[in-house]
Structure 1
Amino acid sequence: MDPAPHELERPVRVALSNDYEIALLGLAAMLARHTDQVQIVDITTSPQFLHEPDLILFDTFGRLPDEDVKLRQMVAENEAKVVVYSWDDYPEEAARRAGAAGYLHKSLSGPELVSAIVALHTGEDSGPGPTQDEPTRFWPGQAAGLTEREAEMLTFIVRGLSNEEIARRAYLSINTVKTYIRTAYRKIGATNRAQAVAWGFRNGFSSTDDTGI
């Protein structure tokens, strides 16, 4: 539902959702620079929200697009528009099939992301213009030198998925998955899956999600 005219005079009320609080804190920090356009009303790992947002921004860090129960639950249980915030390996088509009202790519800068959120809220079709501002994000394992993609692979391993399952459900080649995992292992000093899982549990990779991957 498009906003009423008087609602366009205030910032868009945005709720942030993901399984990992540290990922949400980075996203919140990026949006907090633009309080004249967006107001963060909830930061939660739950599919439910304490306040009534205009738009729910669902960061897919540590999520797989195939049968994402949490995304479907949020769409079904909330009147607000649910917008997926992700990389190419969580394709827009999968997000749309699950009921998402929009899809925003993680390559967007802070101002671009805010402009896109406002456009989705108001029903505008025009996209944001380019800026020089770089995104600011945080994720588990960042302090150990893991890239966001490497960290995501480790979250899937901690959840018990095999390389083949990750590749199939993340729409990645098995060689791409193995490359991410190999570089992640090297950075955390793991030589096998058991060591990687143990490291993950010690370093914030245990998910709060109980709806399934």
Structure 2
Amino acid sequence: MIAADDQAAFDAVETMVDHWDRPGWTAQTRAYYWMLTFPDSPALADLALRCQQHLAPLGLDPVPDDGLHITLTRVGSTAALPLPRLDDVISAAAPLCPAAFRLRAVPLAGSRGAVRLTVAPWGPVLALHAALSKSMAPLGLAPRKPTALFRPHLSLAYNNRPRPAAPVIKAVTPLRRLAPVDLDVREVQLVELRREDRAYRWDVVKSLPLG
């Protein structure tokens, strides 16, 4: 049901926008985020590459296989969070992390700025988002997006210019026949995020085990 809803929502998009046109982001911007990363999932990397190769004529910016991730929530800029305060963020989150879980990544939907995999079920991801939000609240670090508005997803390629959505939707549709991939989520990562060219890159500050 989640996949069908995501696909229907993308099929209704009329125009796409430049994902990288984001005020406040520069090559020098550094910020801390909670994310789920998947460096040990060759099946996910293979699925991503297969989709990206099919979509290559569109000129989208593919996410590198070591850049596949689910963004959970922004913590704050590196300038605003010195290391002692970052230690507080980690210490507050550790005892609240919920149990490990399994996700299924389902081809293929998108947004106005990207083409992406649907991930389901949402329940465990929303529980993790809520726990991280709760841990940050006493530190004055309320997330920009409340859990009620959070829609988990895993981007495969970013749109880099305004364009009609119809050709992208047409190219995406046959990829929905590909088999989904299961992902075991055992850790959540606090990362220092940056942009390099047209890709997100990061350094892991701390991986917290779930459960």
Fold shared per TM-score above 0.5: no
What TM-score, normalized to structure 1?
0.29
- Higher fraction of strand: 2
- Asked which structure has the greater RCO (Cα within 8 Å, sep 6+), the reply is 2
- Higher fraction of helix: 1
What TM-score, normalized to structure 2?
0.29
